[in-house]
A and B are shown apart, each in its own frame.
Chain A
Amino acid sequence: MRASLFITCYNDTLYPETGRAVVRLLERLGVELDFHPRQTCCGQMHANTGFRGEAFSQAKRFVRLYQDAETVVIPSSSCVAMIRDQYPMLFAEMGNETLRNQFAALLPRVCELSEFLIDRLGVEDVGAYFPHRVTYHASCHGLRALQLGDRPWRLMAKVRGLEQVPLQNLDRCCGFGGTFSVKNAEVSSAMLAVKLQDVIATGAEYCTALDNSCLMHLGGAMHRQYAGMKTIHLAQILASTEASPAEATL
């Protein structure tokens, strides 16, 4: 199996350890990975703020870069949701026939990391070892837009040593919402405070998710509050083995 990694702009810049974990995990599972060094951003930030023309130019770029990829793996549920839910409208409104056809051909080959592991590779046990108490935050885009369902839990269930701690009000947003966290910073913070109560109440050592943007939000508040819990992308847990433990988030 060959796959092309779209790491996303903020993982590339802020969370390279997640990208390294994806590489380690997928290569361990025998996937032949490639990486387009010219990739930048999917356009979600622009689209969600109302900058459609700009979002369209990122969307075009994405399709041009990846049109020949066998499969595109993206370790960020909200970026996958952007591509699935918003690209069709952007291309319908602003694209031409060629672009629409290229996108239609590419779309079925774009998948989120847990979808890739379970639906494409057909694995649940990735041979991981992570001896910690972990709670899973179901990011809204993974939960509702991608309908990831029980995929993340099936993957975590096979991680040796991992103890899952259920999170109350699992379907409640952490309040990040991209530029929402800045445009409506106070409301976002109030949502975050409520979410964090549920997360901290689990008593877990780590809060994990399939989207580093939620984890940046939750982790930023945990650090500010000396909350005694860390965030870690699920890819890093899945990449972790007894011999090579996860590179812990700082």
Chain B
Amino acid sequence: MNLAAAGHPVLDPTLAPPFPQAALPVLRNPQLRKNVAHAIDVIQAKRAKLVAEKADWQELRSAASAIRDHALENLGYYLEQFEARCTAAGGVVHWATDAAEARAIILELLRQENASEVIKIKTMTSAEIQLNPFLEAAGISAYETDLAEIILQLGDEEPSHIVVPALHINRSQVREIFARRMGLKDLSDDPQALTNAARTWLRQKFLTIPTAISGANFLIAETGSVVVVESEGNGRMCLTLPRAMITLAGIEKVLPRFQDLEVMLQLLARSATGERMNPYTSLWTGVTPGDGPERFHVVLLDNGRSSILASSRERQTLKCIRCAACMNTCPVYRQTGGHAYGSVYPGPIGAILTPQLMRMQHAQSLPYASSLCGACYEVCPVKINIPEVLLDLRALVTDQERGQFRRFLDPMYLGLRIANLIFSRAWLFHAAQFFGRIGLRFFTRKDGWIHSLPSLGAKWTQTRDLRGLPSQTFHGWWAARGSKPMKEAK
């Protein structure tokens, strides 16, 4: 089935339609746009208030940026240190070069546990490797335990945000999904009632399923610990009740020292949910007899990350701590929501991360899904210069495409090549202005405005007019007035 054609969002970058096309169903959906704008406006306002109360916010950002830079510059060293310390504490570390390998490792571990069901703490990395459908096909049911992920799973929906994945769904829609899937006909849309329904549904999973999968917010090299931050306590349940735990983490998640959490945790909750501290911060190191899972595995996932690491300018992409502040502030995301990005990583960070994870072979429209307004860079707690990376990636995409035969007569490529020629000689520029003015006269109405243009110009005039070209350019005026300064009327 062609999901995109059926209007269902496709979050696989190898299959998703280009951003401008994928954005259309959302732009035509007032309810969805309202849900997205309302949700991020609420988070944004909370964030702004809490950031304002930190006098040392900029210093914290600089410290976090330095910590992440250092970790990435010495990533091999810190990953090996993590592996050694985690192993010494009774954990088992696995290395996966790509999504297929990570899925195979996890399936094998679940088979060793004789698991037919598994409970999950929210992990976008598992969505990146499309773990749930893979496990389903292998006969293993994966149950999400994060409230938003439950909504998505039961509603057959896709995540549209990395921190608040069901942000595009409002509570009356949640009520409908729960009522239908949990068989609760009389469920109200009161948040308390909805939470209770989820809690009852979850409790039975927690008590009967002895195997869990988590992601990781951070890996601590110094101690071999894994850190998960969450708001609902479902993570804490998954970390205490099951007998076996499998953690899937991107290789970039490592922090050198335990003390680095001091900086990171102050930034993360404020940036992500607009809270001083997230309600639950779980840290665990290997296994502890009589306390929590008896068997613990960490799967370290590369899946394109080391190729990003290789570029000194684009490496900063991997500094991301997945707080989503960039998407919450992004004026593009505010209109389109997350699905248009065709990836589990939407928004500005997704626009730079996804094409790079795809080694620039897919998702080439994403670096252009930005007006370069710079709001993302301003809020990023680890100072990723997203506009700079967007520009670098645009240059890479252009270099890929410009040699292609089908691009030769593409109006954008043709137009920019001609513009370059024109800008390189003043007389050509002036001639182009002259002939442009004559040409545009055919499109200029009596009121002096252009209401409709052909080709690429139609993209402009579909929603805006354009003032017709004035009869005299500035340089023409300057030449005509001579070298005399202007006379000011008294």
Contacts and interface: CB of A to CB of B under 8 A. Distances in A.
A187 B372 contact: no
Nearest to A250: B448
A7 B398 contact: no
Contacts of B467: 14, 216, 219-220, 223, 249-250
B460 interface: yes
B424 A144 contact: no
25 contacts: A12-B433, A12-B475, A14-B467, A16-B474, A16-B477, A27-B485, A40-B426, A41-B429, A43-B423, A45-B419, A48-B372, A49-B416, A51-B416, A52-B398, A140-B375, A144-B374, A177-B373, A183-B20, A187-B27, A187-B332, A190-B27, A193-B463, A216-B466, A220-B464, A241-B488
Q: Classify the secondary structure of B's interface with A.
A: helix
A49 B464 contact: no
Interface stretch (A98-106, A108-116, A168-176, A200-208): A168-176
B448 A49 contact: no
Interface of A: 7, 9, 11-20, 23-24, 27-28, 33, 35, 37-41, 43, 45-52, 54, 57-58, 61, 86, 89, 140-141, 144-145, 171-173, 175-194, 216-217, 219-221, 223-224, 241, 243-244, 249-250
Interface of B: 19-20, 23-24, 27, 33, 331-332, 334-336, 367-375, 377-378, 388, 391, 394-399, 412, 416-417, 419-420, 422-424, 426, 429, 433, 436, 448-449, 451, 456, 459-460, 462-467, 469-470, 472-479, 485-486, 488-490
A219 B334 CA distance: 22
B368 to A, nearest CB: 5
Contact of B426 (A38, A183, A241): A38
A28 B416 contact: no
A190 B416 CA distance: 25
B487 to A, nearest CB: 9
B464 A224 contact: yes
A218 B311 CA distance: 38
B312 to A, nearest CB: 12
Contacts of A194: 331, 334-335
B391 A47 contact: yes
Contacts of A224: 451, 463-465
Contact of B412 (A89, A182, A189): A182
Contact of B331 (A18, A175, A185, A223): A175
A177 B372 contact: yes
Contact of A23 (B429, B448, B464, B486): B486
Nearest to B413: A51
Contacts of A28: 488
Q: Which of B395, B474, B488 has the most CB of A within 10 A?
A: B474
A37 B422 CA distance: 15
A19 B476 CA distance: 11
B456 A190 contact: no
Contacts of B331: 172-173, 175, 191, 194
Contacts of A184: 19-20, 23, 332, 368-369
Nearest to A127: B488
Contact of A24 (B375, B412, B448, B486): B486
A11 B472 CA distance: 12
A39 B328 CA distance: 40
A180 B391 CA distance: 12
Contacts of B391: 47-48, 50, 86
B33 to A, nearest CB: 8
Contact of A39 (B336, B426, B462, B463): B426
Interchain residue pairs A-B with the least CB separation, the first 10? A177-B371, A220-B464, A50-B398, A50-B394, A19-B474, A173-B373, A185-B459, A140-B373, A16-B474, A38-B426
A29 B374 CA distance: 34
